[in-house]
Amino acid sequence: MTDRQAEEITLLDISEVASFADYFIIATATNARQMRAVVATLTKELRGDGVRPRHQEGESDSGWVLLDYGSIIVHLFSPELRERYNLEELWREAKQVVRLQ
């Protein structure tokens, strides 16, 4: 199970600073295998609740995957790309709701 658990999960409320979504979920996967497992598990579990992504970008091997669920957008990064793009800083005006290490 540990290979499917994302790390450093942050939930940002962007509803006051963006019109295209309400929340960003930003998380880290330490390698491509873990990223594929997280994406597969998330997609499968939400599909079971009748929720499907509107759009998906990126590939696990690239170090970044975006899942667009409309009001919620999930960004899953490798550690290197998460540090490079630093979405928490880019969206610093958003309200941080949760941060799990």
The domains found in the chain, sorted by start residue, are: 2-100 (3.30.460.10)
Q: Tens of pLDDT along 15-42?
A: 999 999 999 999 999 999 999 999 999 9
What does the alpha-carbon distance between residue 63 and residue 30 come to, in Å, rounded to a whole number?
9
What does the alpha-carbon distance between residue 18 and residue 14 come to, in Å, rounded to a whole number?
6
Residue 15: beta bridge partners? none
Q: What is the pTM of this model?
A: 0.91
Question: Looking at residue 101, what is its pLDDT?
Answer: 78
Give percent of the chain with pLDDT exceeding 70: 96
Question: Looking at residue 2, what is its pLDDT?
Answer: 44
